[in-house]
Structure 1
Amino acid sequence: MPRANPIDKHDLRRRALAESALRTLGELGYAKSSLREIANNSEFSHGVVHYYFSDKLQLIVYCVKYYKQRCVTRYDHVVADATSPEGLLVAFTDKLRETIVEEAPMHRLWYDLRSQSMFEQSLREAVGQIDRALEEMTWRVVNRYAQLCGVEPSLTPNTAYGMLDGLFQQALLGYLSGDEESLDVLSAQVHQLMPRILQPVPASVSHIQ
């Protein structure tokens, strides 16, 4: 078996650090996390963490990018397996609910980082890249739903993403706050919203898109 070259080993260690750091970042958030705090809650020393990441910002950007690379394919099988509009909506909302329950700390970290990018210019490029990837992921679901309905989406990808992401964030906040109905509300809202994404937008409000 060929040996991994130094670059591969370096990247493998960064990935291992990211996996470990994500747990602490998801619990504490951006403001309360430091390289030392992350190291204290992992199997890696502070020196090792600092060797691979020069500062907290670099580590957090790497971690969130690493995590979101997996997220953006989360709904691919939902799109591939869908044979009816209602079947797609059920599978899509089931997956939305599942990811909130199983990965709430990671989603909380993402929204925290996105908010921080309003103040930290160095975060904006990474956040923008991730947002575009999530928008494309959402659009694949919307576009497949439209195809199954035999029509074209009436909204832009950016608008559709903004609406669905807003519902998701509200549900996440409700879930984190102990609202037992938040996931059911999310499912109902998505079922109400998706057909409207296909409806023609009145001329009086079309400029908003």
Structure 2
Amino acid sequence: MDADKLLAERRMVEAVLFAATKPLALGEIAARLPAGVDVGAHVAALVAHYGERGVNLVKVADKWQFRTPPDLAFLLREEVEESRKLSRAAVETLAIIAYHQPVTRAEIEELRGVGLSKGTLDVLMEAGWVRPRGRKQVPGRPVLYATSEEFLVHFGLETINDLPGLEELKAAGMLEPMDQALEGLLGKMVRVADGGDDTASSDADEQEDAPPLL
């Protein structure tokens, strides 16, 4: 292929990815380009090109996005931490869902050892990190909860299997303490509060019984 044409195609792929506000699948990139462009080859070349730069092209949730390298995350941490705060109760709930999904509200309460207020799940769903995933085929058919694609994107995970310590915890036959296992992951984006705030319920709030989601 002509070198100038190859360079032009690569620049188009780069521009599409740079301008995107969310990760893009190869097919989504190809849909914006002229027919015949080998998007996969150009993405691979861009991954190598940006490998040691101030931004990297990374794969998250089977899609592609430019991101700040982990070793430079400290430069942005203050701004990100101030944008969203979760209570410790919400962090624990998110960890349980991430490691046990799909899981029901009753199962979350059993693992945490305290009642779960509806507000905690609402906060996680409003953040886009948790979503309903059908109903469990038991009496009452309670709602099952799982993490979303946005959860993978937000925390830079290609799949849920990339959660820290998941394989080791499974091999040991235990998944606790889950909030500690997620501490490094959540620490990138979330400031864990000892008490509640106006966007998340506190541990004390979750002691109250709430009607189950059916």
Structure with the greater alpha carbon radius of gyration: 2
TM-score by length of 1: 0.28
TM-score normalised by the chain length of structure 2: 0.28
More relative contact order in 1 or in 2 (CA 8 Å, sep 6+)? Answer: 2
Where is the strand percentage greater, Structure 1 or Structure 2?
2
Please identify which structure carries the higher helix content.
1
